[in-house]
Copies of this chain bind each other. A is one copy, B any other.
C-alpha cells in the first residue's frame, strides 16, 4: 500500500510507457478535486512528442527529465474556456483580473496535486518543476496558450528508474501555529533548522558551493534576490499579456 511518508520526487524514468488509458483515468479521477463554484478553472497540456519536449526543455533550464520523461504535463490556470462559455450563453464575464488569476491558479494547483497523489499511489514517479513560472512566456508560446490561460505547474511523469532517498522535512512544530501566528525567535529557528543543517548531504552542499551556511547556498546560488526581482517583473508582464491584470 502507498505510504506518503516514503514519497520522493523521481527524475529518472524507465523505458516502460505510461499508457494513455492510465493517464486519462488519473486525469479524470483527479477532476473530483474541489473547484471554485464547480467551474474547473484549469486545463492540462499533455506532451509526449520528442519535438515538443525538446521545445519545452529550455524553459525548464534544460533539466534532463523534461526530455527523458515519457509524459510532460503542464497545468494551467484557465479562464479562457469559462469566458468562452459565458460569451456563448448571453452572459458578460469579467475575469480578466488578478483575483480571477489567483482563483484559477488555485484550482489548477489543487487539481495538479490530486493528480500527483493518485499517480504516485499507482507506482508512477514524478517531478514537479517549479520552473514553469520562471519562463512562463516561453511556455505560453510553445504550447500556444491563449489569453486568460497561464501555466502554473509542470510535472514530468513516468515509471521510476531510480529510488532516491526520502528528503528530510522540518519538524511539524516549525510549520503550525495555534490560534494565531507565533513569531519565530533565534532559538526556535535554531531548533527547527539545525537538524537539516547537520545532515551530511547539506554539509557537502555548503562545501561544494564554497559557502559558510546552508542558507547562503539558497540566497547566493539557488534563489538569488536580484534574479527573483527580475523574474517577478517578467512574470507580471506575462500575466498582463495573458489578460489577467485588468
Contact = CB atoms under 8 A, between A and B. Distances in A.
Nearest to A28: B172
13 contacts: A38-B167, A43-B175, A43-B177, A89-B213, A90-B215, A91-B213, A91-B215, A93-B225, A95-B225, A97-B232, A99-B235, A100-B228, A103-B133
A153 to B, nearest CB: 7
Interface in A78-120: 78, 80-82, 84-86, 88-95, 97-100, 102-103, 105-106, 109-110, 112-114, 116-118
A231 B225 CA distance: 29
Given A28-B172, A99-B235, A218 B34 contact: no
Report the 5 A-B pairs with minimum CB-CB distance, sorted nearest first. A94-B225, A113-B113, A89-B215, A91-B215, A89-B213
A21 B127 CA distance: 31
A228 B4 contact: no
A29 B4 contact: yes
A45 B218 contact: no
A37 interface: yes
A30 interface: yes
Given A193-B85, A232-B97, A236-B98, A5 B29 contact: yes
A47 interface: yes
Contacts of A181: 43, 45, 76, 143-146, 149
A16 interface: no
